[in-house]
Amino acid sequence: MRKTVLIPSPRRARGIILKAPWEIDILRKANAIVAEVLLRLKEIIQPGVTAWDLNRIAEEICEKRGARPAFKGYRGYPFSLCVSVNAEVVHGMPLKEKVLKEGDIVSLDFGTFYEGYYGDAAITVAVGEVSAQAYDLMKVTEEALNLAIEKAHIGNRLQDISVAIQRHVEKHGYNVVRDFVGHGIGQSLHEPPEVPNFGRPGKGPRLKAGMVLAIEPMVVTGSYQLEILPDGWTAVTKDGGLAAHFEHSIAITAQGPQILSKV
């Protein structure tokens, strides 16, 4: 008689894959590498550094840690790091000609693939001294992310996270981007659910232990209308307003939200 091999299918809640504690442990390792890379890049950013240099250094650290850069080849993206300067919102390319200069704000977005699981996080960094508005935009965006993470606990609903971001951002006179959203993350870089940075209180699926989310507010000083540059990737504000982007991958647990993308 043939033996039947039973492959356990992952537990899901409304199409969202729930991760076991051992999977969250691997996701923590994948995301710790991302955090280490971003921290290192932040340390070396100064006027004259090129986005190309940053991409190369990110790849070196990633390789040293035994991980694969997740973005390289993803939907044809040709680099490992996204480097988005000033009016560039996300998916800026790390070109040799992209030389950072005093007063710029630069968003760095990096992902890893490690032992079958993905890491994903982003920060925005000042190059030297920046304008008061640029500094405030970065501060408000990072605060919005932290407020959102506080809402990522069992019993809340997904859009409670979204609302926390939108409220904080709009209170400070800025706008959240509509065209890009956060996402579930696990054995794929992008999994259900979408995590918008705008929403309504009490809407969306109920948050459950084992959900792992990449929460990523993208915030602009002006209109949230974007356009894509002819390179097919770089998303910029239509009105030329500044943009900031912070992202953490977090796990929802019985003990509350856990930030995975930290060293």
Q: How far is 194 from 198, CA to CA, in rounded Å? A: 11
Strand order in the sheet with 212-215: 191-195, 182-184, 212-215, 248-253, 256-259
**Please, which residue, 71 or 174, has the CB nearer to Co ion?**
71
Q: Are 246 and 145 in contact (CB under 8 A)?
A: yes
Identity of the residue, 53 or 216, whose beta carbon is nearer to ligand MF3 in the bound complex: 216
Q: Which stretch binds Co ion (CB under 5 A): 6-14, 32-40, 117-125, 173-181?
A: 117-125
Which CB sits closer to ligand MF3, 3 or 75?
75
Residue ranges in contact with ligand MF3 by CB under 6 A: 71, 74-75, 77, 82, 91, 109, 111, 120, 122, 183, 214
120, 142, 160, 191: which one binds Co ion (CB under 5 A) = 120
Q: Which stretch binds Co ion (CB under 5 A): 41-49, 55-63, 112-120, 233-241?
A: 112-120
Percent of the chain as helix, strand, coil, to the nearest 5: 30, 30, 45
Within 45-131, residue ranges assigned H as helices are: 51-64
- Which partner in ligand MF3, Co ion, none is near 75 (CB below 5 to 8 A by kind)? ligand MF3
* Structure-derived torsion over alpha carbons of residues 46, 87, 40, 75, reported in degrees to the nearest 10: -140
Query: Which partner in ligand MF3, Co ion, none is near 34 (CB below 5 to 8 A by kind)?
Result: none
Nearest to 50 by CA among 104, 95, 99, 11: 99
Q: What angle do CA 90, 93, 96 make, to 5 degrees?
A: 145
250 contacts Co ion (rule: CB under 5 A): no
Beta carbon of residue 4, minimum distance to ligand MF3 (angstroms, whole number)? 38
Contact flag: residue 214 with Co ion (CB under 5 A): yes
Q: Which does 143 bind (CB under 5 to 8 A by kind): ligand MF3, Co ion, none?
A: none
59 binds, among ligand MF3, Co ion, none (CB under 5 to 8 A by kind): none
**Angle separating helix axes 132-150 and 158-171, nearest 10 degrees:** 160
The answer to whether residues 68 and 76 touch, using CB atoms and an 8 Å cutoff, is: no
Contacting positions for Co ion (CB under 5 A): 120, 214
